[in-house]
C-alpha cells in the first residue's frame, strides 16, 4: 500500500482487499461488477490517495460495503 496516503484511505484499501478475498473474487471480477477498471481496483487496494470517490463508492457497493462519515477528529 502507498505509504503517502491518509490512514482513512488505507483503511478503505484494506477493507476492499479483505472483502474481495473473502468473496473469493478476482480484481478483474470486482472491476466488472463495480463498473470500474482493473487498474482502478489495483490502485484502490494499494491506497492511492487521488481516486474518484464515486468509483470508490461503486466498488464498496459491489462488495456489500458502505462508507460512513463521522464527526471531526
Break the chain into its structural domains and give their ranges.
7-62
> Which residues are CB-contacts of 66 (< 8 A; sequence separation ≥ 6)?
60
* Closest alpha carbon to 60 in 71, 44, 46: 44
pLDDT in tens, 3-56: 556 788 999 999 999 999 999 999 999 999 999 999 999 999 999 988 899 999
Whether residue 50 contacts residue 43, with contact meaning beta carbons closer than 8 Å, is answered with no
Q: In a 10 Å sphere around its CB, with 0-12 CB exposed, 13-18 middle and 19+ buried, how is residue 6 labelled?
A: exposed
How far is the C-alpha of 12 from the C-alpha of 18, rounded, in Å? 10
Domain 7-62, architecture per CATH: Orthogonal Bundle (1.10)
| Whole-prediction pTM | 0.82
Query: If pLDDT is split at 50, 70 and 90, which confidence band does 1 have?
Result: low
pLDDT at site 8:
86
Position 70 pLDDT exceeds 70: yes
Amino acid at each position: 500500500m502507498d505509504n503517502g496516503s491518509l490512514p482513512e484511505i488505507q483503511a478503505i484499501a484494506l477493507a476492499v482487499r479483505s472483502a474481495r478475498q473473502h468473496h473469493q473474487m478476482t480484481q478483474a471480477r470486482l472491476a466488472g461488477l463495480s463498473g470500474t477498471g482493473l487498474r482502478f481496483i489495483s490502485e484502490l487496494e494499494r491506497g492511492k490517495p487521488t481516486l474518484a470517490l464515486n468509483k470508490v463508492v461503486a466498488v464498496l457497493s459491489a462488495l456489500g460495503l458502505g462508507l460512513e462519515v463521522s464527526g471531526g477528529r
